[in-house]
Amino acid sequence: MPPSHKLKRVRQSSMREEVTNALTRALFEEWAEKGLSALSLEAVARRAGAGKAALYRRWSSKLDMVEDRLYAVGLTITEIDDHGSLYNDIVALLLLVRRLLRHPLLRRIVADIHAEQTRSPVIRQMLEAFQSERRKRMNIVLTRAIERGELKKDSNLELMKDIVISSLYWREIVLQKGIKKAEIHQLAEAVCAALKAL
């Protein structure tokens, strides 16, 4: 998490948590319904049953709130424990991302924010920061596999990071078809085969 977000956590810790939680829920509900471009902080405050002053004490702008709350709910992938093999690590990673993408609000928000980045350099920059954090976590998984001898030492890590969750994202977000838990294991086998070929 960037230093600015750590400082924000400290500042907000002295505020009423139930108000912050209500504002957070209201943000994601409004966003999922209306999209980021049409989202207003006034509507967020109304939905949360809070005053605008309470909202602005926590966040200075819409984008400030959006970025902060996305970090707060863990949109970036957390560190994956060592499960002993590349295959097991990939299964754990895919299950984690699948759970995130299946959240009824977040799945709509994820699709919206990726569309919005094509129109807004500010949103694109914010997304790049999230993607950078996600790729750092993936780097740990791939580096472990290299150290175990499961992947080549000269593997193209950047290309590998693109491969790992791309099919899952396509099924869950683009096609809206979803993927069964049993299929996650099949996908993990295919991902591992692809990674070993690079």
Of 45, 61, 77, which closes a domain?
Answer: 61
Task: State the Cα–Cα distance between residues 123 and 169, nearest whole angstrom.
Answer: 19
Domains of the chain: total:
2
For residue 8, the model assigns a pLDDT of 56
DSSP state of 184: H
| 158 inside domain | yes
| 74 inside domain | no
SS3 14: coil
| 75 inside domain | no
Average pLDDT by stretches of 10, the chain with 198 residues = 52 73 95 94 96 94 91 69 96 92 88 91 88 86 96 95 94 91 96 95
Same-domain status, 136 and 174 = yes
| 70 inside domain | no
What amino acid occupies position 52? K
What amino acid occupies position 93? L
Same-domain status, 111 and 35 = no
For residue 186, the model assigns a pLDDT of 97
- CA dihedral (93, 94, 97, 101) in degrees, to 10, reads 180
| 79 inside domain | no
| 54 inside domain | yes
Q: Are 72 and 63 in contact (CB under 8 A)?
A: no
Q: What is the pLDDT of residues 163-177, one digit of tens each?
A: 999 999 999 999 989
Which CATH number is 126's domain given?
Answer: 1.10.357.10
Which CATH number is 53's domain given?
Answer: 1.10.10.60
Give the domain range for residue 141. Answer: 86-197
Same-domain status, 43 and 134 = no
